[in-house]
Amino acid sequence: MRIHQRFALGLIAATVAGAGHAATTIPMHSVSADGVGEQVGQIMVSESDHGLVFTPQLKGLEQGAHGFHVHQNASCEPAEKDGKMTAAAAAGGHYDPEETGHHGTPWGDGHLGDLPALYVDADGNATIPVLAPRLDMDDLEGRAVMIHAGGDNYSDQPKPLGGGGARMACGVVPD
C-alpha cells in the first residue's frame, strides 16, 4: 500500500473513531435484470466532521475499482430501460438535487451522489472506507447506494457517468 493511501486510511479511521456522530448500516445485495439477489455484505455510513464515511464490508465482488454512487430512489428492483429490463434501474440516476446534470468528483460540483471509487481486493473483498465530503445523513434518506461494474473517471468524458458499467450491487438506505 502506498504511503498516501495509508495516510488517507489513517485519517478516515481517526475521523470515524473520534466522530461520535450518527451512523447507519446498509445491507448490500447483488442485482440483475431478474431482481435483487443474495446479500454480498454491508456498508456502514457514519457522520464525521469532514462529511460521510462509507465503510464497506463486502465479499464476492470482482477485483478492481468500481463506480460507487448514491442513487435517487430507495429501490434496487429492476425496471425497464430502453425497452429491456435493467438491473436496479428503479433506483433512478445519481442523486443530483441541485440538477447539475453532470458527473464529477466527490468533492466537486457534479452530482451530489458521486462517491469515491470502491476498491475490491484480489480476494473479492471491499473493506477500505471512502469519504464523501459534501454529504450528510439527511441526503441519504429515501435513497439507494449502488456499486457498478468497472471504474469511475469522475467525468462524463469520454463516456457519461464516469464510464462505469452495469449496476452489480445495490442497497436501500434504511429509514
Domain containing residue 85: CATH number: 2.60.40.200
What does the pLDDT look like over 45-92, one tens digit per residue? 999 999 999 999 999 999 999 999 999 999 999 999 999 999 999 999
**What band does 165 get if pLDDT is binned at 50, 70 and 90?**
confident
Contact indicator for 69, 84 with CB cutoff of 8 Å = no
State pLDDT tens for residues 1-59. 444 443 344 445 444 444 456 899 999 999 999 999 999 999 999 999 999 999 999 99
Contact 173, 145 (CB under 8 A): yes
Please give the model's pTM, rounded to 2 decimal places: 0.86
Q: How many distinct structural domains can be found in the chain?
A: 1
State which residues form the domain around 31.
3-172
The C-alpha cell at 67 is: 463506480
